[in-house]
Amino acid sequence: MTYKKNIAEFIGTSFLLGTIVGSGIMSERLSAGIESLALLGNTIATGAILFVMITILAPVSGAHFNPAVSLVMRLRGNLNNVELSTYLLSQIAGSVFGTWVAHFMFDVSIIQFSSKIRTGSPIYIAEFVATFGLIFTILLGSRYSPRKVPALVGLYITGAYWFTSSTSFANPAVTFARTLTDTFSGINFSDLPFFILFQILGGVSALAVCNLIENGRK
């Protein structure tokens, strides 16, 4: 049933953002101003929660938690237009809810807007690369090692935090929600359009490359 899938997408995306924002706040408080240590804490928590949420919710909804993933699945014919729309709404609502819950848990203002600027061509290209790699991992992992997808995605994001200059948002819902937190993980709203544009371009490009690889094996 569609509503079960939507609930799964809402819950999974809520936990993802709660972890990104919450671990960012916790890491910043405990790292004594050492940004690399704060990023490491943020990274480990995010990779771990992705592994858990994908493992338990993939049988329900596919565990997208990401509009770029859902768009690619629509282009592959795995979702119809109505399912895509409800997935996107569930993911966006879940991302905002998870961000607000993280604020509440750490006793900071629930309603915030980020002042952190993340702009420039290198960062936008980093988002293209990060999202390309994520979709590439999901599609080929699902085809050739489906039982390992939760670990593959968790490990990929853990690595991509560190090899991309943007720290690998790779997710339009995550990016939007992070404009609503003026904490370690935030991003200013003015940077949102280009982040999402390059994420979508990266995801669609990965789909095209995966299609070439899969067709070449036939």
From CA 70, how far away is CA 3, in angstroms rounded? 16
Its pTM stands at 0.96
Q: Whats the size of the chain, residue-wise?
A: 218
- Tokens standing for 102? 């993280």
pLDDT score of 1 more than 90: no
List the domain range (segments joined by +) for residue 138: 2-216
Q: pLDDT digits over 186-204, tens only?
A: 999 999 999 999 999 999 9
User: What is the 3-state composition of the chain as percent helix, strand, coil, each rounded to the nearest 5?
Assistant: 75, 0, 25
Q: What is the CA radius of gyration of the chain?
A: 16
List phi, psi (to 5°) of 149: -60, -45
Q: What is the pLDDT of residues 19-64, one digit of tens each?
A: 999 999 999 999 999 999 999 999 999 999 999 999 999 999 999 9
User: Considering its fold, how many domains does the chain have in total?
Assistant: 1
Indicate the pLDDT class of residue 218, thresholds 50, 70 and 90.
low
pLDDT confidence bin for 2, thresholds 50/70/90? confident
Q: What is the pLDDT of residues 124-133, one digit of tens each?
A: 999 999 999 9
| CATH label of the domain that carries residue 12 | 1.20.1080.10
Give Cβ neighbours of residue 116 (< 8 Å, ≥ 6 apart). 182, 186, 187, 188
Task: For residue 142, give every residue at least 6 positions away whose Cβ sits within 8 Å of its Cβ, in sequence order, or none.
Answer: 149
